[in-house]
Every structure is written in structure tokens, then in C-alpha cells.
Amino acid sequence: MDSSDFDVNGTQPSLIGSSCSDLIVEEYWHKGELDNPANVIWLHVDSNWHRLTLDCGVVFWRSNVGYGPKAYEMPELESQVRLTSLGQTLEVAGRVIANVSTRSVEDGLEVALQWDSGDRLVFCHFNDKTSYYTV
């Protein structure tokens, strides 16, 4: 991982070769509209939760946090956080992580998870929002 154009806060966990039992994203909703599709990314690997957040050119890793994601309401902001299991919807639960890579891209950064099948799930952060796509 070349961190010349971004910073890493925390330590990226050793995920390569491990089975991902679930991958959940926290979606941030404001006034009934999806505002941030992957505000926080949660990986459940080897019975531990690992939290990944991308923000302003910084990759934040927190490992073995001792708890998993939780949905919650913020009525004072007319907002809520909903959970979506990408492990289930993208059928990556139970797959082995073959690689994790981070790179800066124009006006943002990306973190890619590659599975043993060769498929990749890429989280990209632009304009203070994190989304994802598969390759």
C-alpha cells in the first residue's frame, strides 16, 4: 500500500487469507434520502469486527472493536443510520479475502477488497461521501 497521497489512522488488520463472515455498511439517511451509502464499513473476520472509515484523504482502521454495527435514529437531525449486509446481498459472506489495497485517486481515495474468486469490492470516497462498486 502506497500511502504517499493519503494518511492511515490506525493499523490495517491482517485480513488476507481469512474468511469474511459478514461485511456490513452503515448507510446515512437524511430526510428520507440516502446521503452516504457506506458511511462506515464493518468487516467480521475471525470472530472480530473491524471498522473501516474513509474521510478527507484518511483511511481509519479500528480492529477488534468488541462490538458490531448498530442502526440508530437521530431525530434532531432528521437522520438515521441503516445497516445493509453486503456480505449477504453481494454474496461475499464466507469468501476468503485475497488482497486489500488502498490508493489515492483524483479528488479521493479507494479501498479495494479482493476475494479468492478474483472479484473485487471497491469503496471509493469522493466529495465527503463513500460509495462502493464491484468489479
Please write the tens of the pLDDT for every residue from 15-27. Answer: 999 999 999 999 9
What is the model's pTM? 0.92
Which of 28, 30, 49 is CA-nearest to residue 39? 28
Domain boundaries of the chain, sorted by first residue: 18-134
Burial class (CB in 10 A: 0-12, 13-18, 19+), 78: exposed
Please write the tens of the pLDDT for every residue from 48-96. Answer: 999 999 998 899 999 987 899 999 999 999 999 999 999 999 999 999 9
